[in-house]
Amino acid sequence: MSTRLPSYLNAAEPGPWAMFLQQLDRVEPHLGELARWTDTLRRPKRTLVVDVPVRMDDGRIEHFEGFRAQHNLSRGPGKGGVRFHPAVNLSEVMALSGWMTVKNAAVNLPYGGAKGGVRVDPGQLSRGELERLTRRYTSELGDFIGAERDIPAPDVGTNDQVMAWMMDTYSVNHGTMQPGVVTGKPVSMGGSLGRRDATGRGCFVVAREAMRRLGLPLAGARVAVQGFGNVGNATARAFHDEGARLIAVQDVHGTVFNDAGIDPHALLAHLKAGGSWSDFPGASLIPDDQFWGLDCDVLVPAALEGQITPEVAAQVRARIVVEGANGPTTPEAEDILHDKGCTVLPDVLANAGGVTVSYFEWVQNATSFFWTEQDIHAKLDRVLSEAFDSIWRSAHDKGVNLRTATFITACSRVLEARAMRGLYP
C-alpha cells in the first residue's frame, strides 16, 4: 500500500487517503479492460497548498494551512465542499476529493471530484476573523477555482455565509458577478431553494428505497443519528416527518435518548434558543459510548470520518447504516457489519443529495432561471431513487456490497471518459 502513496504524504500516517486506496483496490478486479486506467484514480490530478495569513482582532497575524485538491476532471469541472476544521490535512482533503469523483459519477452529474479546506477551528474565530480567513483563502485559490473549473460548496464548519464571502471575493477579483463559482449560497444571491436540507433529504430517500427492498416498514422505524449539524439534523427531521421514530441523537456536546421518540424540530428549537443537550426536556442524556450499541433499525453517522471502527461495528445492532458523513466506516468495520447482515448505504451514494442540488443550483445560475422548491425536491428524489435502483441491482448481479457496486458504476464512467479522451500528448 505505502508504495502507492505519493511522496508528499507520510507513509507512517497515511490518513484517510489510504482508506480511499483500499476501496479502489476492492473495485479494480471488477473493472475489466478499464482497469488499466485505475492508477489515474490513485493520485489526484492537482493539489494546491496555500498559506492563509489572517489579521486577528488583537492585532496578531496568524497563519493557517489551506488546501484544495482536484482529484479527477475527466467528466467535468471539479466539485466538492470546503471544510474548516482543526484536523484538516492534505490526506483528508485528497480522500474527500476522491470520494467526490466517485459520488458525482455515481449519480451521473457532469462533474469531476474536488475538495478543499482550512486547518482552523472556526468556533475560535470572531465573525470578522472568519470573514478575513475565508476571503484570503479564496483569493489564494485564485483561478484554481471557477464556474467551469472547480466549484466549492459548504462542508463541515462552513455554511451559506462562507459561500457568500467566497463568491463575493472571487467576483471582486474578476470584476464581474460570478454566482456559479460556488454553490450552497444564500437564496437571496443565487442559491437554490432546497439546498440546505438536500444532503439529509437525500440520505432519507436512499434509506427509504433500501428499507422498501429489505421489507423494513418506515412507520415507527427506530432511527439513531450521530451529528446534529447540516446533514444530521435534516436527516433526523426527514425521518421524523415521514413517520419514523428518532430514538437518539449524538453530537459533540453529548448523546440524548428517548425510547418513545425525540422531536428533532423541538430539539433544534431548544438548541437555537440557547438550551443545552442536558436540559432538553424531550429526552435524557446517556453516556456517549452507549450510542453505537442502541437497539435501532437505522443508524446514521452524520458527523466525521472514521467513526465506525471494528470495535464500534461489533456493538452495532442496526439493520441499516446510512452514511451521512463522508468515510464514517472503515473497510474492516464494513466487513463486520456485512457479516452481521447489516446493510451499509455508502457515503458516495447516501449523501449525494447535497451535490445533486448543488448541481441544480449551478444550472440555475448558468441560465438565470430559478425552479420552485417542489421542483427541486421532485428532481432530487428522482435522481437518487434511479441511482439507487441501478446500484442495488448491480450489487445483486455481481454479488458485491453496495459500496463496491457504487464504485464500479462510478469508476467505470470516469475511466471510460478517461480512455475515450485519451492521453495528451
Complex with ligand NAD: residue 44 or 354, whichever CB lies closer: 354
What's the residue count for the chain? 425
Q: List helix spans (H) across 188-280.
A: 198-214, 230-241, 264-272
C-alpha cell at 160: 451559506
Q: Does residue number 304 form part of the binding site for ligand NAD (CB under 6 A)?
A: yes
Could you tell me how many residues of this chain bind ligand NAD (CB under 6 A)? Answer: 23
The residue from 156, 224, 313, 336 that contacts ligand NAD (CB under 6 A) is 156
Residues in 251-290 that interact with ligand NAD by CB under 6 A:
251-252
Annotated catalytic residue 115: yes
Identified catalytic residue from 115, 272, 379, 398: 115
Among the candidate windows 65-73, 139-147, 148-156, 398-406, which touches ligand NAD by CB under 6 A?
Answer: 148-156
Q: From the centroid of its chain, how far is CA 274?
A: 28
By the 10 Å C-beta count (0-12 exposed, 13-18 middle, 19+ buried), 65 is classed as middle
Q: Does residue number 157 form part of the binding site for ligand NAD (CB under 6 A)?
A: yes
Q: How far is the CB of 236 from ligand NAD (least distance, A)?
A: 11
Q: Does residue number 197 form part of the binding site for ligand NAD (CB under 6 A)?
A: no
Question: CA–CA separation, 53 vs 407, rounded Å?
Answer: 38
Q: How far is the CB of 302 from ligand NAD (least distance, A)?
A: 5
Q: Nearest Cα to 117, choosing from 140, 137, 102?
A: 137
Q: How far is the CB of 148 from ligand NAD (least distance, A)?
A: 22
Complex with ligand NAD: residue 113 or 324, whichever CB lies closer: 324
Q: How far is the CB of 158 from ligand NAD (least distance, A)?
A: 8
Q: Does residue number 107 form part of the binding site for ligand NAD (CB under 6 A)?
A: no
Q: Nearest Cα to 152, choosing from 118, 188, 106, 198?
A: 118
The residue from 6, 186, 229, 261 that contacts ligand NAD (CB under 6 A) is 229
Q: Nearest Cα to 203, choosing from 386, 415, 381?
A: 381
CB neighbours of residue 229 within 10 Å: 17
The residue from 89, 134, 183, 351 that contacts ligand NAD (CB under 6 A) is 351
- Give 301's strand partners: 226
Q: Does residue number 231 form part of the binding site for ligand NAD (CB under 6 A)?
A: yes
C-alpha cell at 221: 422505524
Question: CA–CA separation, 307 vs 302, rounded Å?
Answer: 10
Complex with ligand NAD: residue 226 or 409, whichever CB lies closer: 226
DSSP annotation of 34 reads G
Q: How far is the CB of 419 from ligand NAD (least distance, A)?
A: 29
Q: Does residue number 322 form part of the binding site for ligand NAD (CB under 6 A)?
A: no
Q: Which helix (H) or strand (E) holds 113?
A: strand 113-119
Tell me which residues are annotated as active site.
Answer: 115
